[in-house]
């Protein structure tokens, strides 16, 4: 028993107790409140159904008049805490059959595209998530609660809390949907008993947070174990930490094999959305043609200026289709302006072997795993090179900070082709930097193979996401000592021509091996080596004539850095922050600038304070180079592309490098020769016995707090209403499942 309860396991037991108490008495608070309520009152007596509801099946109704769409229970005469809406089994066979309609058997047009006709959908499907409001009559006056919702598919969401004080004479449930909406419910109960619910996903989430706090707390033994890249045990530990990501990628791959269908959608009178752009690009290369093999309407091909906003809107609204959104249209053919390298390396081999499309979610899953893997290995090499003797805890915390700061969680959420350029570039960039950071051999000489392959990877950004090519500038601080030796040899005339040419060739030739084919590819498509096709997009504006106003540039830079968040009092407690412009400029909805969307990046303000320590480790110039590159990328994005949440990924990883340097320099705790723990078995990992200074302890707590806040903000951002790829709109059941955790509190 003493082995289970001792000083080393105390933190684990405390964390377990907190998790159990939180699950039972915080998240289940509605259950305990409802137990003290008066007897439940159902709608089988004194019930009134508003005239704005028309029966459309067993438990299915259509709103005919939103001003009269309600259900009311009279004769309550007691305080009401919770109202339960029962929607189980609330649809008839006609509605159920329509709900199971898939894209494969929807009506199709002459091009074979599935028609997503609003009239067809609305006539045959009911809403799963219904917006409602509870009104309570107290002292003869109707008093309204705030807007709420229930989901017919998620029982936990169907308990609505009444926040109006006083004894209720009647309770009215308003259905706040548009006329013609079909809703589902079978009954309503006032003063319902909320069941006790133990949620395994919620327990897992709390366990992960607790594990993070326990493992990285300043008193953790991991702070006394030095990083040893030659240790087999530590290598297996890193592999174990990355295994869940590999399993997720594998599960996504298997799932897509069984359930994949082409991601093309067309609403009559609107643009056509095709999310298999990289797959089409791979097919075109296999066929030896520069354009995509997609249908072109005669009316669009004959238009004098098909990119003109008024012209294409007129064509689309008159029924001309398909007009593909966010594709390039040039000289009568469709193209992709996205980089070709992901299509060549992933999509093309798969499609050449199988003859079918590679699902983008599968490609993204493995690219994301690669970015995580080489991002972690890059961080390990930074620590090994500049902070030898740093602890395992510092290494693990640095890997987590890099993953958060590089906006990897955001890219994981956006599993469509818009995330492919950033994810592929993050993969090749971290791989390239990992190779460069490990290019110095133990004898002090450079491995030209690693230098060359690193240059090739960094140059590959031209065919992935061009903004990441600024990573090439990081070669200067990484190889600065070697550059100085070469310059000194040139000045002293002690270095031969071959010794000078070799490093230049090792860096330049692999880069040219990637760059020159990409430039030729541009010429093959658009007749110009430097034309990547961006200006011919079918997007929100005609980019061939549009010039971004310089007056908006300062505002865009402010939005990227410090757009303030907007908090609300309902789940997910965050909302889209307004980002208005004086002139028109592209704007993607966001919850805030990088310092609010990724709070851990606030640590970059500690970087200038670490000058002496960073100078001693040859990281002062490295950090400022990364910050300067981030500023250049942000400036380019702001002027050329506008403000976009996903564009933050282009430069946030560079800011994160400076954050890592400052964090590691401040937390650097290398107490000298470590000694084995007393009584430790032979071969056990060595641990330092010297106490950690107070300053390092405080910095560790600050970093941990910012990581937790970043994780919470990121998690809640997945559920923000109004963001692109909104879960509220695309996967309402999943949105409701998580929202029900706090909905009734």
Q: Can you spell out the DSSP letters for 39-108?
A: --EETTSSEEE-TTEEEEETTEEEES-GGG-EEEEEEEEE---EEEEE-TT---HHHHHHHT--GGGS-B
How confident is the model at residue 407, as a pLDDT?
Answer: 92
- Tokens found for residue 6: 């001792």
How confident is the model at residue 367, as a pLDDT?
Answer: 94
* Rounded-to-integer distance, Cα 636 and Cα 539, Å: 19
How confident is the model at residue 44, as a pLDDT?
Answer: 64
* Rounded-to-integer distance, Cα 396 and Cα 378, Å: 12
With beta carbons less than 8 A apart as the criterion, state whether 566 and 574 touch.
yes
Tell me the residue length of the chain: 745
Antiparallel, parallel or unpaired: β 141-144 and 264-266: unpaired
pLDDT average per 10 residues of sequence, the chain (745 residues): 68 90 93 86 76 83 91 87 80 46 48 43 63 92 91 88 90 91 85 91 94 91 90 91 90 80 77 89 93 91 89 88 89 92 94 89 93 96 92 93 93 88 96 95 88 95 94 94 82 75 89 95 92 88 83 92 92 91 86 95 94 92 96 93 91 96 82 40 46 83 94 94 86 89 84
How confident is the model at residue 172, as a pLDDT?
Answer: 92
How confident is the model at residue 676, as a pLDDT?
Answer: 39
* Rounded-to-integer distance, Cα 185 and Cα 195, Å: 19
How confident is the model at residue 119, as a pLDDT?
Answer: 38
Give alpha helix (H) positions in 527-648: 553-562, 594-597, 611-616, 620-640
Strands (E), 204-282: 264-266, 272-274
Three-state secondary-structure class, residue 159: strand
Task: Say which CATH superfamily domain 28-190 falls into.
Answer: Galactose-binding domain-like (2.60.120.260)
How confident is the model at residue 24, as a pLDDT?
Answer: 93
Residue spans per domain, the chain = 9-27+199-211, 28-190, 217-252+359-670+693-741, 260-354
How confident is the model at residue 45, as a pLDDT?
Answer: 61
How confident is the model at residue 670, as a pLDDT?
Answer: 54
End-to-end CA distance of the chain: 38
How confident is the model at residue 3, as a pLDDT?
Answer: 67
How confident is the model at residue 725, as a pLDDT?
Answer: 83
Beta bridge partners of 687: 675
How confident is the model at residue 264, as a pLDDT?
Answer: 79
Is the model's pTM score more than 0.75? yes
């Amino acid at each position: 028993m003493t082995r289970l309860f001792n000083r080393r396991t105390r933190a684990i037991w405390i964390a377990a107790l907190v998790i159990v108490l939180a699950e039972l008495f915080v998240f289940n608070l509605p259950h305990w409140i409802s137990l003290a309520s008066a007897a439940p009152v159902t709608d089988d007596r004194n019930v009134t159904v508003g005239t704005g509801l028309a029966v459309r099946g067993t438990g299915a109704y259509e709103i005919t008049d939103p001003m009269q769409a309600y259900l009311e229970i009279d004769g309550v005469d007691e305080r009401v805490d919770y109202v339960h809406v029962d929607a189980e089994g609330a649809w008839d066979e006609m509605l159920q059959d329509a709900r199971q309609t898939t894209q494969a058997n929807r009506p199709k047009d002459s091009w074979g595209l599935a028609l997503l006709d609003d009239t067809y959908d609305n006539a045959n499907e009911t809403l799963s998530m219904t917006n409602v409001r509870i009104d309570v009559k107290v002292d003869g006056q109707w008093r309204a609660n705030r807007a709420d919702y229930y989901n017919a598919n998620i029982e936990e969401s169907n308990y609505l809390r009444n926040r109006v004080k006083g004894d209720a004479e009647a309770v009215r449930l308003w259905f706040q949907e548009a006329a013609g909406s079909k809703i589902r419910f079978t009954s309503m109960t006032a003063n319902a008993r909320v069941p006790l619910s133990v949620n395994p996903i919620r327990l897992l989430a709390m366990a992960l947070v607790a594990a993070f706090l326990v493992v990285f707390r300043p008193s953790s033994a991991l702070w006394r174990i030095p990083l040893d890249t030659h240790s087999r045990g530590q290598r297996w530990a890193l592999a174990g930490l990355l295994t869940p990501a590999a399993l997720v990628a594998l599960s996504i791959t298997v799932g897509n094999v069984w359930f994949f269908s082409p991601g093309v959608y067309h609403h009559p009178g609107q643009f056509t959305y095709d999310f298999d752009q990289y797959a089409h690009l791979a097919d075109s290369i296999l066929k030896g043609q520069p354009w995509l093999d997609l249908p072109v309407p005669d009316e669009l091909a004959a238009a004098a200026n098909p990119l003109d906003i008024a012209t294409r809107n007129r064509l689309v609204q008159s029924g001309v289709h398909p007009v593909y959104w966010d594709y390039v249209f040039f000289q009568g053919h469709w193209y992709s302006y996205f980089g070709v390298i992901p299509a060549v390396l992933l999509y093309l081999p798969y499609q050449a072997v199988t003859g079918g499309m590679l699902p983008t979610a599968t490609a993204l899953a493995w690219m994301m795993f690669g970015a995580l893997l080489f991002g972690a290995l890059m961080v390990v090499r930074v620590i090994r090179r500049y902070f030898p003797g740093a602890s395992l805890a510092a290494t693990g915390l640095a890997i987590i900070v890099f993953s958060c700061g590089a906006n990897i969680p955001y890219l994981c959420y956006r599993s469509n082709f818009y995330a492919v350029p950033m994810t592929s570039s993050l993969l090749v960039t971290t791989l390239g930097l990992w190779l460069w950071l490990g290019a110095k051999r133990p004898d002090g000489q450079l491995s030209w193979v690693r230098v060359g392959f690193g240059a090739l990877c960094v140059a590959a950004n031209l065919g992935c996401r061009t903004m990441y090519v600024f990573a090439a500038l990081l070669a200067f601080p990484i190889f600065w000592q070697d550059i100085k030796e070469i310059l000194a040899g040139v000045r002293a005339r002690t270095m031969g021509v071959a010794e000078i040419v070799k490093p230049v060739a090792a860096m330049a030739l692999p880069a040219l091996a990637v760059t020159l084919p990409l430039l030729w590819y541009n010429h093959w498509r658009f007749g110009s080596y430097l034309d990547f096709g961006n200006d011919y997009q079918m997007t929100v504006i005609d980019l061939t004539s549009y010039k971004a106003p310089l007056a908006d540039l300062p505002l865009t830079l402010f939005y990227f850095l410090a757009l303030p968040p907007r908090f609300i009092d309902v789940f997910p407690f965050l909302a889209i922050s307004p980002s208005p412009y004086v002139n028109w400029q592209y704007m993607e909805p966001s919850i805030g600038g990088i310092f609010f969307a990724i709070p851990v990046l606030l640590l970059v303000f500690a970087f200038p304070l670490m000058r002496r320590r960073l100078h001693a480790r040859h990281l002062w110039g490295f950090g400022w180079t990364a910050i300067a590159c981030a500023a250049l990328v942000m400036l380019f994005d702001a002027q050329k592309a506008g403000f976009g949440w996903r564009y933050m990924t282009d430069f946030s990883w560079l800011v994160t490098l400076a954050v890592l340097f400052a964090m590691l320099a401040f937390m650097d705790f290398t107490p000298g020769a470590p000694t084995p723990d007393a009584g430790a078995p032979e071969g056990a990992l060595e641990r330092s016995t010297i106490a950690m200074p107070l300053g390092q302890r405080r910095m560790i707590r600050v970093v941990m707090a910012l990581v937790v806040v970043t994780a919470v903000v990121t998690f809640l951002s997945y559920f923000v209403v109004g963001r692109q790829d909104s879960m509220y709109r695309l996967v309402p059941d999943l949105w409701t499942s998580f929202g029900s955790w706090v909905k009734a509190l």
